[in-house]
Structure 1
Amino acid sequence: MAIKKFILDTNVILHDYKCIYNFQENDIYIPITVLEELDKFKKGNDDINFNAREFSRDLDLLADNSIFTKGVSLGDSLGKLYIVTSYDYPEALQQTFSEKTPDHRILAVAYQLQKKYKNTIFISKDINLRLKAKSLGIVAEDYISDKVTSADIFDKKHATFSHVEAHLVDDLYKSKEGIPVEKFSFCSDIEPNECFIIKSSKSGVLARYNSFNQKVERVEKNKVFGIEPRNAEQAFAFNVMLDNNIKLVALTGKSGTGKTLLALAAALEQQENFQQVLLARPIVALGNKDLGYLPGDDKRKVSPYMQPLFDNLNVIKHQFNYQGKEVYKIEEMQREQKLVIEALAYIRGRSLSNTFFIVDEAQNLTPHEIKTIITRAGEETKIIFTGDIQQIDQPYLDMHSNGLVYMIDRMRGQELFAHINLTKGERSALSELASNLL
């Protein structure tokens, strides 16, 4: 098979700083303009700044003078890495893109390499830049190393198993320990911690397959720290989040389905079991210089983006008497830093020991960022990711390449993981109507 030549755009490296090792035996070309752009991203606390710094460190370990001429090996069974320093701005680009922007200079490198070598491909996560490349006859593709091929897991509702023997449904209602899974005909069709509805000719029951004891257990609609589940999916969500054996939970669903509120209620219900309850969300606008014009220090600049988390906390407070012990406990936890609401950018490097950690808006994280968060979890830590894959604000992520869907795809079938997809909006009739029709 002929060796391919891949030219990488800056955004690919900012998305995954280890990307150069994901092209097997093929060669990688990085235009010098990409390094110039990466240099602008080195300072800052956001994840793209971290990726820019890490890539530069890795490149420093690899690079010698041959990287500009003969290329340097990326390792066994991998290709070579080249940095392209000299190039012309061909007439074809001058006619179409007269302004020599960094993007156009990168395209110039791709254009010349494609004229020189067969099997040359330009890799970018920028849709418009890929279209520009194709207009010049350059083969252009998205970076798909961490892309999920199907997101159908977000389209379906929970499973319903009908025509189950009536005595099994009755036994589920009576038994606190559950029923061995092998007694059900659908036992081979369910995954660990999957939630579903079981129906007989007489009645139905909410259930979950507990893979830790190999039993099907009944799921009850119990109120959790003042919040009562309004539908089956919300009851399922509480059930898996309150199970101490499940360390990683993904709650997905459209706006208004209660993802963040349910996660926060579950955290407060179990706060005695953890040293800290931590809520965080990524701030996409940190990469936008307009944020710098907001008054105050970094904490004040990002505080408006944390407001939805505080709003959910206030919803829970309003379920109780404002002088009650529950409200006092929440305020005490905040004073003692046992309940912390923070921008995700400030969590980097923090130890996640004995923590109930909620990551909101996780659809705006890259697969690498999700991995970084999970791999910092200690033995007694539980992590809840919430997100709506239809509302992605990161310009280089989509419903197939964001970290939330990547994590769910890779973790399916694992005992320590559960995924609940919430489909029914409960915020208001108007919110539900808008979510469905607009």
Structure 2
Amino acid sequence: MSATKLYILDTNVLLHDPRCLYEFKEQDVCIPMTVLEELDDIKDRKKNVAQEARVVIRAIDDILSTATTPSQIAKGVPITLPGKDRETKLGKLSVFPDHELTVRQGFLPDIKNKDNLIINCALHLQSTTTHREVVLVTKDINMRLKAMGAGLEKVEDYRTDQLVSDIELLPAGHMHLDGTFWEQVTEVNSFQKDGNTYHKVARSLLPNAYVNEYIYDDTKDFAARVTSIDSDEITLIDLNYDRLMQQECWGISPITIFQAFAMQSLVDPEIDLCVINGAAGSGKTLLALACALEMVIEQQRFNKIIVTRSTPPVAEDIGFLPGTEEEKMTPWLSAIHDNLEAMHEGDERPQSSVKYAIEKANIQFKSLNFIRGRSIQDALVIIDEAQNLTPSQLKTIITRCGKGTKMICLGNLAQIDSNYLTALTSGLTYLVERFRGFEGSANIHLEGIFRSRLAEYAEKNL
């Protein structure tokens, strides 16, 4: 069956998902020469997406390597899946020399602008390829607007990796039950194990529950977490509402039950990945740091704390700042210092206390480039501002987790700084959805803002 559509891919789509070339099924894919130049420019720079650029270039080379003449590349080379699925035939991949286009009526005139060159490529193919639909795929919202304004009929965002259709459908990590939980239970099997109380109840009581989801009711007495699910029963570990609220790590106690859930998941040795998302001022960083200091200094469960965060310019600009890597990271990790100071503001010498905590807990501030290629052992890794990471970048970081290491991802889907990510396509959303039900991970959405009444009002009304 011949392809009915021709997809023209923007650079940001290839960087967002290096495997996207294999996601358009039987349809054809075209890459403008400008996109190849942008990939070439990115691959050798110290950018967060440099590795993705290299992966994409290798994938393109693997597909086009079967071509023997330039005309074959212009017409299109069959795309085959790598590895065992190499026999599966998809559409064709072609490269279009968009630099050869001249400025004509209906085309964007500023050909020095790379976005315009790519849009012009799509407009040219739309006017000359009348037998099928030409679609420009880009994650740049402004570029989509420009393309439509210039007369391109089909412009789309890349959503193949989008796991949820509405951010409201993203699991919160906790479930509230109306009334009293025990009044709804007709049969229960309770038992003790390792000093904890467990309850086995009918699965029909919590049909939509998943592993490591927290359950609570209106009584402010019952609170539990799902530990396992089988065909007929759900096993809950009884956490006790009061005991959760009385937790304390490094002098910090929870204000709400949601913060209590977060603290319990942070200190639980059975959970290797803890994802905490919530609005600015909900206490994400403060809770993570307090629990991290408790586990490293007091409990000595880990040897160090590695703190990093995703900011779009960090990998580009870090080389121009003076000092060591940790000194260069200071401007972007000031939020960590702010929270450390807040935890010690009542001390006689707050700055000395902060310095002591950093040295005693061996807190290391690292750029994301440090994470790549490493196997991190016996450490707590805190990834702040994780909403700005792509799914591919988060996968790279999570797979660095070695023996005895725990990952903590913090983020706010309402504060995405990347031009190419939305709340639906953020790596944080991807992580929450993909790890739902995994026995080694927990996700908590924090509700409420406690930074100040000004911050709370701004979050609600601006």
The TM-score range, normalised by the shorter chain, is 0.7 to 0.9
Q: Cα offset for 1:232?
A: 0.6
The gaps in structure 1 that reach 5 residues or longer are none
Q: Deviations over 1:224-260 (max 9, x none)?
A: 1211111111100011111111111110000000101
Q: Cα offset for 1:153?
A: 4.4
Q: Cα offset for 1:71?
A: 2.7
Q: Which amino acid aligns with 2:301?
A: N
Within the candidate set 111, 120, 124, 1:112 is matched to 124
Which stretch of the first structure deviates more once superposed, 42-51 or 259-268?
Answer: 42-51
Q: Which amino acid aligns with 1:307?
A: S
Q: Which amino acid aligns with 1:140?
A: V
Work out the CA distance in 2 between the residues paired with 1:296 and 1:328: 18
Query: Residues 36 and 181 from structure 1, CA distance in 2 versus in 1: closer, same or farther, beyond 3 angstroms?
Result: same
Which stretch of the first structure deviates more once superposed, 104-113 or 314-323?
Answer: 314-323
Q: Cα offset for 1:141?
A: 0.4
Q: Which amino acid aligns with 1:138?
A: E
2:330 equivalent to 1:303: yes
Work out the CA distance in 2 between the residues paired with 1:181 and 1:97: 69
Is residue 7–residue 29 contact of structure 2 (8 Å, CA) maintained in 1?
A: yes
Within the candidate set 420, 434, 450, 1:410 is matched to 434
Within the candidate set 148, 154, 166, 1:139 is matched to 154
Within the candidate set 302, 323, 329, 1:274 is matched to 302
Q: Cα offset for 1:31?
A: 0.7
Within the candidate set 233, 236, 250, 1:215 is matched to 236
Which stretch of the first structure deviates more once superposed, 142-151 or 185-194?
Answer: 185-194
Which secondary structure does the structure 2 equivalent of 1:197 belong to? strand
Work out the CA distance in 2 between the residues paired with 1:90 and 1:179: 72
Query: Residues 164 and 298 from structure 1, CA distance in 2 versus in 1: closer, same or farther, beyond 3 angstroms?
Result: closer
Is residue 110–residue 138 contact of structure 1 (8 Å, CA) maintained in 2?
A: no
Which stretch of the first structure deviates more once superposed, 307-316 or 236-245?
Answer: 307-316
Work out the CA distance in 2 between the residues paired with 1:324 and 1:311: 11
Within the candidate set 74, 77, 92, 1:69 is matched to 74
2:357 equivalent to 1:330: yes
Q: Which amino acid aligns with 2:154?
A: V
Q: Cα offset for 1:140?
A: 0.9
| TM value normalised by structure 2 | 0.83
Q: Cα offset for 1:181?
A: 3.4
Work out the CA distance in 2 between the residues paired with 1:168 and 1:325: 53
Work out the CA distance in 2 between the residues paired with 1:166 and 1:390: 37
Is residue 11–residue 124 contact of structure 1 (8 Å, CA) maintained in 2?
A: yes
**Superposition RMSD in Å:** 3.2
What does 1:14-53 align with in structure 2 at a 5 Å threshold? Answer: 14-53=15-54
Which stretch of the first structure deviates more once superposed, 391-400 or 377-386?
Answer: 377-386
Work out the CA distance in 1 between the residues paired with 2:351 and 2:424: 45
Is residue 249–residue 385 contact of structure 1 (8 Å, CA) maintained in 2?
A: yes
Query: Residues 100 and 278 from structure 1, CA distance in 2 versus in 1: closer, same or farther, beyond 3 angstroms?
Result: closer
Q: Deviations over 1:253-278 (max 9, x none)?
A: 00000101111112222221123221
2:342 equivalent to 1:315: yes
Q: Which residue of 2 aligns with 1:88?
A: 101
Q: Which residue of 2 aligns with 1:102?
A: 114
Query: Residues 292 and 92 from structure 1, CA distance in 2 versus in 1: closer, same or farther, beyond 3 angstroms?
Result: farther
2:90 equivalent to 1:78: yes
Query: Residues 179 and 53 from structure 1, CA distance in 2 versus in 1: closer, same or farther, beyond 3 angstroms?
Result: closer
Q: Cα offset for 1:195?
A: 1.4
Work out the CA distance in 2 between the residues paired with 1:238 and 1:120: 51
Work out the CA distance in 2 between the residues paired with 1:393 and 1:328: 31
Work out the CA distance in 1 between the residues paired with 2:417 and 2:292: 27
Which secondary structure does the structure 2 equivalent of 1:310 belong to? helix
Is residue 249–residue 290 contact of structure 2 (8 Å, CA) maintained in 1?
A: yes
Q: Cα offset for 1:406?
A: 1.1
Query: Residues 98 and 381 from structure 1, CA distance in 2 versus in 1: closer, same or farther, beyond 3 angstroms?
Result: closer
Q: Which residue of 2 aligns with 1:233?
A: 258
Is residue 181–residue 209 contact of structure 1 (8 Å, CA) maintained in 2?
A: no
Q: Which residue of 1 aligns with 2:143?
A: 129
Is residue 251–residue 387 contact of structure 1 (8 Å, CA) maintained in 2?
A: yes
The gaps in structure 2 that reach 5 residues or longer are 81-87
Query: Residues 328 and 25 from structure 1, CA distance in 2 versus in 1: closer, same or farther, beyond 3 angstroms?
Result: same
Which secondary structure does the structure 1 equivalent of 2:259 belong to? helix
Q: Cα offset for 1:103?
A: 1.5
Which secondary structure does the structure 1 equivalent of 2:89 belong to? coil
Which secondary structure does the structure 1 equivalent of 2:18 belong to? coil
Q: Which amino acid aligns with 2:73?
A: F
Q: Deviations over 1:1-53 (max 9, x none)?
A: 65121111111122222221221222211111111122221233322222222
Query: Residues 183 and 58 from structure 1, CA distance in 2 versus in 1: closer, same or farther, beyond 3 angstroms?
Result: closer
Q: Which amino acid aligns with 2:118?
A: I
Which stretch of the first structure deviates more once superposed, 66-75 or 356-365?
Answer: 66-75
Work out the CA distance in 1 between the residues paired with 2:377 and 2:28: 41
Work out the CA distance in 2 between the residues paired with 1:157 and 1:63: 45
Within the candidate set 267, 279, 286, 1:242 is matched to 267
Work out the CA distance in 2 between the residues paired with 1:371 and 1:30: 25
Is residue 362–residue 386 contact of structure 1 (8 Å, CA) maintained in 2?
A: yes
Is residue 200–residue 235 contact of structure 2 (8 Å, CA) maintained in 1?
A: yes
Query: Residues 79 and 184 from structure 1, CA distance in 2 versus in 1: closer, same or farther, beyond 3 angstroms?
Result: closer
Work out the CA distance in 2 between the residues paired with 1:340 and 1:278: 5
Is residue 283–residue 344 contact of structure 1 (8 Å, CA) maintained in 2?
A: no
Is residue 173–residue 214 contact of structure 2 (8 Å, CA) maintained in 1?
A: no
Q: Deviations over 1:369-417 (max 9, x none)?
A: 1111112212422111110000010111111111001111122122222
Q: Which amino acid aligns with 2:76?
A: G
Q: Deviations over 1:307-341 (max 9, x none)?
A: 1112222333446665999868624336xxx3212
Which stretch of the first structure deviates more once superposed, 300-309 or 222-231?
Answer: 300-309
Work out the CA distance in 2 between the residues paired with 1:165 and 1:139: 52
Query: Residues 218 and 433 from structure 1, CA distance in 2 versus in 1: closer, same or farther, beyond 3 angstroms?
Result: same
2:187 equivalent to 1:163: no
Within the candidate set 355, 358, 363, 2:379 is matched to 355
Is residue 122–residue 138 contact of structure 1 (8 Å, CA) maintained in 2?
A: no
